[in-house]
Each structure stands twice: as structure tokens, then as C-alpha cells.
Amino acid sequence: MHRTRSNSNLSDLKPDEDLLKKIGKKSGMASNTAKTWAYPNTRRDESVVDEHGVADPYRWLEDPDSEETRAWVEEQNKLTFGFLEECDYRGKIHERLKEVYNYPKYSCPFKRGDRFYFFKNDGLQNQSVLYTQETLDAEPTVFMDPNTLSEDGTASLGTRAFSESGAYYAHGIQRSGSDWQTVYVKQVASGDNLPDKLEWVKFSSIAWTHDDKGFFYARYPPPPKIDSTEGGKAGSEVDTNLHQKVYYHKLGTSQEEDPLIFETPDEPTLIFGVEVTDDGRYLLLTHHKGTAPVNKLYYYDLARFEPAAGGDHGLSVVKLVDNWEAQYEYITNEGTLFWFKTNLKAPKNKLITIDLTRPDESEWKELVAESEDVLDYAICFDHDKLALGYIHHVQTVLYVHALVSGERLLSIPMPAPGTVQEISGKKKESYLFYYFVSFLYPGTIFLYDRTSKHGTEPVPFREIQVPGFDASLFATEQVFYTSRDGTRVPMFVVSKRDTPRDGSAPVYLYGYGGFSISIQPSFSSFRMVLMQNLNVTVAIANIRGGGEYGEDWHTAGTLEKKQNVFDDFIGAAEWLVEHRYTSPARIVIVGGSNGGLLVGACTNQRPDLFGCAVAQVGVLDMLRFHKFTIGHAWTPDYGCADNDADFQYLIKYSPVHNVRPGTTYPAVLLTTGDHDDRVVPLHSYKYISALQHTVGSYEKQVQPLMIRIETKAGHGGGKPTSKAIEEAADTYTFIARTLGLTWTD
């Protein structure tokens, strides 16, 4: 159903007083009775200012290893967990989350060598297990179980790749949620680990040469004061990640012997991607300026590659694309003819071919033109076919095209509006596997095989079953509302079918809005607890900054236009109130990482519009984010305060610097992890300190301002199931208590 918001001005939106009185009867937290919270007495150093003269009184919290910071963390957690323990049904929420999450989960199968592989989690295993089988009908056996790597489940699989023959498996192990990885190699036939061990790998793929002798990868110099990625400390540091370099590792040699393949000492912030082509002839090397949707593209001819240990690799680089004008993603090649997905003069992407023997741009050929929908990915399979996935109004459509001509051959039907969450296929195999999900569709893995008796029809290969889940009790609608500047923005709304439309329902409003990331429909059993047991409506706003409508949609929410993202999110909440889905006191806004920035900025700008705000691992200090770990990679989206022009707009919305005194705020919960080396926890430390000092002392501030700091946890990748459930239970408990929600069995 399409809906449009009226042009009434909601900037002075007031809560429904009668409704607030009714809600207030359900929970003392929602009443107008002031409460004083015993926040830790966080030291403020008023003498610390930056180069712009902006006060930074909590800079001391940037040192994660100081005794003062550690004591502060302990005090904050004591306050937060004490508050959560007072909720009568915290344990009930936790047990219910365990119950609904306890079902088998699978990945798409994929073939490497002569064997099939897939990941499976029996239900509550901390990490998914990699299984193997000789055929799709054979009994699977465990190939690698990450749960055996640590007692608490905090060791997880990271980057990984089988060699071309399938004889070896290189895989990175991450610990405590850190992005740092140690790469090991496993022999497939015996199951034994080889002595090879590569440390300080981060943001790297693994690209095997087709002779199975070794692989290319990228690593950083070790940060100061840390000896190893395995000691438990790596990931808690805040040192900037610079000077990534590309190496080749030959099996059976030490990492110190790995020959250096490529580096850019004059451009220390660049990040590199490595990929060996389908035919094994070329190494493709992409250069990335952080998260910008552009890259340079170089290649090496591997025909005479004979690397000497620690010496000259004997390769000559060819600069195919040596500018920052567009992004190029390798699809496949036939000899010197290459297929790429690109946004070159095509913000919604297209397919082109480039012949290495005629590399001039004037010789490039357009194979599949840009369309009204966003070309999300392209996979070559069945030797001469392409599977092209598009985003149409935030939902997946999937087509098969001819490789050579680019002609569209057919459309692969989806079972409902939703998302192809995962897809696997290879050029030399005739089939595709794809994993379809939606908000009310737990998931089905489909097999599409051009050579099967089913012809052009995909068949269910494995259906995901969630015990006790009845999709018929819920409904999903997609609405469109008008943002502040007139832009039409889509939003999904999911709720029980009998949810009243009188403004009384609580709403969980989620957004992201950055880095061209599209938030498409997905299934979450956790959200089912919100909807089924706490009677919450879930809303997902597809705001600008994401990739739902291509690069123009992305750039409309970046740099000096970042305020559009916040306006879109605020507009979503206003639309939900205007159309009687909810009221301001019943809205919780939630977002993680860049979405945490979204929540922080919107909380500061419109504290009257929300009842609760949850910012997870958020980017919250916009004046200094680029100075820590990989923060410099985000400047294409945010800008950089070292630039005076960028500073002028960053200072206007930076959450840490825009807390409003003398203003009543909603309940606020920040979550972070002590090993988050993506968005370092100092962001959350500073913001909660500013909130508690400025707002917490305000006599009319009723709702709590708290932070939950997890140990042995990072940005989210590889988080064990037990910790994910505990964090979700605590988050939902905080929401339930502060919004005055009631539990329904």
C-alpha cells in the first residue's frame, strides 16, 4: 500500500496528553514524576580544546587502558545492569529470545573442488559450523567447528577461501570481536592444519593462485605495544590503521618470507582488494579510498609468476584504471575480455566489457545499460550466463542474462516481496543457490539449475522452519512519506494484524542511512518477540545515504547533505504519529554504527519526538572519528573536521557536541564493546558523559541515560549467539521498562 504524508507542518508536534495519561498508568517510567539517577561523577577537563577552540572535556576517555577509564566503565555498567535487574520480566525476555532463536540456520551450499560446503547453526551454537558433503544428497560431516576455538565462543571465522582445486582452505580467525585476524591453512583431505600462520590481517580478501601453491592477501604493520593478534589485547587499541600492503604467501614458508607485491607509501590510507581471475591468469588489484564508491584497477599477468622468498616477485603492474572517477567490480573474463559492474556515468550501475588489448576508455563496451532499478550484483554461472540482482523499491528482482550479448533471457520468480540475502554460483557450474527472506518469511534456499528437469523454475532446496512462528498473525506494508525537502522516502511497517490504529501502539523505528548500504527486508526472530510478546510495531525507514535508489540516493545523504538523513528519519517518526500508528512517547529509535550516529543526532535535534533512543556502537564524535583505527576510511561520507569547510557542517550535528541543556530527553541507551576497533568505544563513552552531565542534572529529566559496555565484543561481526541474545534481552528490557510496555505470553 502506498501512502503519502500531508503537507501539514509537524515541526511543533505535541504529544497526545490523554494518551500519555493512559500510558502513564502502565509504568512509572512514563509518568511525569521526576527521578534522580546516581550517574558516575565523570571527570571533566575543561582545559582541553581542539584546534578549532571546541571544548573536549572527556578526551581522557580516549585511552582505553588507563585505570581511570577502566574504573569509569565498571561504574557505568554497575548503574546500567542494576537498572535492568529491577525489571520484573528481564529473565522472561531472555528466555523467550533463546526459545525463538533456537532453530537450525543454514547458508547457501557452495562447491569447491569436488565437494560441497555449507554453514549450519543447530540453534544456539555460538558460532556456525562449516559442513562438507561429497554430493548434495550425501550425509554432511563437520569440516570446521569454530566453537572449539574458545570456551566462550568469542573466536570466529573471518576472511576465507578454498584453493582452486579445493585441496586447501585458508581462513582467518578473529577474537573477541576485533577486526584483526590471524590466517591459517587447513588441508582438506586430512583435515590437518598446516604450520602457516599470518598475523595482522585486516580488511583483506584471500586470492589463491590456481596452482595451489599460495595466495595473495593484505596486511597492516602491527600497532605499537601489541605483540600478537592472539593475546586477547588486539582490538582494544585505538591506533590508526595505515599503510596496508599486499603480499604473496607461499605455503610452507614463514610470514617473514612473504614477498611484497604492492604498496603506496605516499598514500597511507588506501585499502587494497585482491582477486585472481576465473581462468587463473591475472591478479586484479583494486585501490580504495575508504568507503568511497570509486576505485583504481590494476592487474598483473601471472603467467610467469615465480616469487622469491622475501625478494622480487617478478610481476609488472598494468594500470587499467588509474583515476578516482568510478567503481569497478570484476565479474568474469574470457582471455583478455573482461566483464565489470560499474557506476561510471551510471549511478544505478551497469555492465561493461573491457578488452585488455584495447584498454582505452573509448574502446569499452556497454553490455547491460543502466535501468530504473539499481543493479546490486552480477554473478557468472553455467559458463555463459549472468545472474543479475536488482533492487526495485527496496526489494530484490533477479534475472538471467546472456554473458556475451547481455540479452535478458528470463526472470527468476520470487515467492513474495523480499530479499535475496545470499547467492552462490560459479562460472563452471550450471546452477545457482539463493537464499530468500522477508520480514515474515524466515527463509528458503532455492536451487536454480539450468540443466535440471525443472527447466527455468527454481525449486526449494531447504526451507527454514521457526517453531511456533505463525506469519498469518502479522502484516507488512510499504508506505511512502514526504521528507522535509519534498523527497519521497519508503518505509516498511510490520505489526500484528490486530494492532490498534489509535496512536497507542509502541513503535520500534530503525534506520541506517549511510555508505550506500541498502536496508532490505529481512527476517529476525528477535523482532518477533518485540511484536508478539511486547506488542511493538516495527518500522524500517529507507532513508537517504543508503543505496536503495543508487548512488544519487547515497550522495544526497553525505558530507554537507548529511542533515537530509536526519530529516528523513525524523519525517518517518512524524508520519507514524500523524497517521495514528503511535505517539511520540511510544517511539523508540534504534540504529547501529552509522545508524548510531543517526540516533544520536536525531535525539539531540528532536528529543520531544521519541520516548526512547538506542544507539549501538555509534559514530558520535564527528570532529575526531578519523583519528582512530579505520575512521579515516569514512571521510568520503562524512568529511573531515581537519578541513575548515567540513568542520562547519560537522560541528552542527556531531552528537557529542550538540547535547541540549535545559531540555527533556527520551530514555537513552548506548551499547558498545571493549574490542570494537571499527567504531572505537570512546565515541559512546564521550556521548553518554555529555548526556549525563548536561541532561542528567536537569530537574525535569525523568528518563535514564545509560550505557552498556560488553567485554570481549567488537563491532558485531562474529559475536557469539550467547552474547547476541544477552544484548538483545537487555536492550528490549530497557525499551520495555522506559516505554511502559506490558508482556503478553
Instruction: Say which CATH number the domain at 555 has.
Output: 3.40.50.1820
Summarize the confidence of residues 264-276 as an average pLDDT: 98
* Burial tier of 351 (Cβ tally within 10 Å: 0-12, 13-18, 19+): buried
Give the confidence band of 452 by pLDDT, cuts at 50, 70, 90: low
| DSSP three-state, residue 288 | strand
Q: Would you say residue 107 has pLDDT above 60?
A: yes
Q: Which three cell numbers stand for residue 28?
A: 512509572
CA distances from 603 to 108, 568, 589, 745 (A): 39, 14, 9, 32
Predicted confidence at residue 36, as pLDDT, reads 65
Angle, CA of 285, 287 and 288, to the nearest 5°: 140
DSSP state of 271: E
Greatest pairwise CA separation for the chain in angstroms: 79
Give the confidence band of 237 by pLDDT, cuts at 50, 70, 90: confident
Domain boundary among 292, 325, 358: 325
Buried b or exposed e, range 516-538, using 16+ CB within 10 angstroms: bbbbbbebbbbbbbbbbbbbbbb
* For the chain, the helix, strand and coil percentages under 3-state DSSP, each to the nearest 5: 20, 30, 45
Q: Per the domain annotation, does 635 fall within a domain?
A: yes
Segment 337-346 long-range contacts (CB within 8 Å, at least 24 positions apart): 338/277, 339/367, 339/378, 339/380, 339/386, 339/403, 341/375, 341/377, 341/378, 343/293, 343/550, 343/551, 346/370
Predicted confidence at residue 7, as pLDDT, reads 31
Specify the higher pLDDT residue, 293 or 452. 293
| DSSP three-state, residue 129 | strand
Q: Which three cell numbers stand for residue 90?
A: 528481564
Three-state SS letters, 106-121: ECCCEEECCEEEEEEE
Give the confidence band of 224 by pLDDT, cuts at 50, 70, 90: confident
Which of 18-27, 146-155, 306-315 has the highest average model confidence (pLDDT)? 146-155
Domain boundary among 272, 307, 325: 325
73 and 176 share one domain: no
153 and 141 share one domain: no
Residues 6+ apart with CB under 8 A from 635: 290, 626
489 and 634 share one domain: yes
Summarize the confidence of residues 569-585 as an average pLDDT: 98
Predicted confidence at residue 144, as pLDDT, reads 98
Predicted confidence at residue 310, as pLDDT, reads 61
Q: Would you say residue 2 has pLDDT above 60?
A: no
Summarize the confidence of residues 415-435 as an average pLDDT: 96
C-alpha 331/C-alpha 297 separation (Å) is 13
Give the confidence band of 48 by pLDDT, cuts at 50, 70, 90: very high
Predicted confidence at residue 454, as pLDDT, reads 57
pLDDT in tens, 289-309: 999 999 999 999 999 888 876
Q: Per the domain annotation, does 411 fall within a domain?
A: no
Q: Per the domain annotation, does 666 fall within a domain?
A: yes
Three-state SS letters, 309-372: CCCCCCCCEEEEECCCCCCEEEEEEECCEEEEEECCCCCCCEEEEEECCCCCHHHCEEEECCCC
Q: Which of these, 412, 380, 381, lies nearest to 396 by C-alpha position?
A: 412
Q: What is the DSSP string of 419-460?
A: EEEEEEE-TTSSEEEEEEEETTEEEEEEEEETTSTTTT--EE
pLDDT in tens, 635-678: 999 999 999 999 999 999 999 999 999 999 999 999 999 888 89
Percent of the chain having pLDDT more than 70?
94
189 and 90 share one domain: no
Summarize the confidence of residues 598-604 as an average pLDDT: 98
Total number of domains in the chain: 3
Q: Would you say residue 92 has pLDDT above 90?
A: yes
281 and 142 share one domain: no
Q: Per the domain annotation, does 438 fall within a domain?
A: no
Summarize the confidence of residues 163-167 as an average pLDDT: 98
pLDDT in tens, 454-471: 566 899 999 999 988 999
Percent of the chain having pLDDT more than 90?
87
In 10 A of CB 694, how many CB atoms? 17
CA distances from 128 to 157, 183, 232, 721 (A): 9, 18, 22, 9
Residue span of the structural domain in which 114 resides:
105-146
Q: Which helix (H) or strand (E) holds 379?
A: strand 374-381
| DSSP three-state, residue 78 | helix
Predicted confidence at residue 314, as pLDDT, reads 73
- Please check whether residue 95 is in contact with residue 69, taking contact to mean a CB–CB distance below 8 angstroms: no
Predicted confidence at residue 745, as pLDDT, reads 87
117 and 128 share one domain: yes
66 and 185 share one domain: no
Q: Per the domain annotation, does 388 fall within a domain?
A: no
Q: Would you say residue 26 has pLDDT above 60?
A: no
C-alpha 402/C-alpha 407 separation (Å) is 5
- Please check whether residue 494 is in contact with residue 418, taking contact to mean a CB–CB distance below 8 angstroms: no
CATH no. for residue 199? 2.130.10.120
Give the confidence band of 234 by pLDDT, cuts at 50, 70, 90: confident
498 and 647 share one domain: yes
489 and 556 share one domain: yes
Predicted confidence at residue 457, as pLDDT, reads 86
Predicted confidence at residue 325, as pLDDT, reads 98
Q: Per the domain annotation, does 341 fall within a domain?
A: no
579 and 676 share one domain: yes
Predicted confidence at residue 8, as pLDDT, reads 29
Predicted confidence at residue 468, as pLDDT, reads 86
Q: Which helix (H) or strand (E) holds 743?
A: none
563 and 695 share one domain: yes
Three-state SS letters, 552-597: HHHHCCCHHHCHHHHHHHHHHHHHHHHCCCCCHHHEEEEEECHHHH
Predicted confidence at residue 311, as pLDDT, reads 66
For the question of residue 715 being annotated catalytic, the response is: yes
Q: Which residue in the list 676, 677, 683, 693 is annotated as catalytic?
A: 676
Q: Which residue in the list 593, 654, 684, 689 is annotated as catalytic?
A: 593
In 10 A of CB 73, how many CB atoms? 20
Q: Which residue in the list 171, 483, 715, 730 is annotated as catalytic?
A: 715
C-alpha 93/C-alpha 726 separation (Å) is 10
Predicted confidence at residue 273, as pLDDT, reads 98
Q: Would you say residue 530 has pLDDT above 50?
A: yes
Q: Per the domain annotation, does 44 fall within a domain?
A: no
Domain boundary among 284, 305, 325: 325
For the question of residue 454 being annotated catalytic, the response is: no
Predicted confidence at residue 304, as pLDDT, reads 83
| DSSP three-state, residue 228 | coil
Buried b or exposed e, range 500-510, using 16+ CB within 10 angstroms: eeebbbbbbbb
118 and 79 share one domain: no
For the question of residue 621 being annotated catalytic, the response is: no
Summarize the confidence of residues 91-96 as an average pLDDT: 96
Predicted confidence at residue 98, as pLDDT, reads 97
Q: Per the domain annotation, does 245 fall within a domain?
A: yes
Q: Would you say residue 28 has pLDDT above 60?
A: no
Range from 11-25, 475-489, 510-524 carrying the lowest mean pLDDT: 11-25
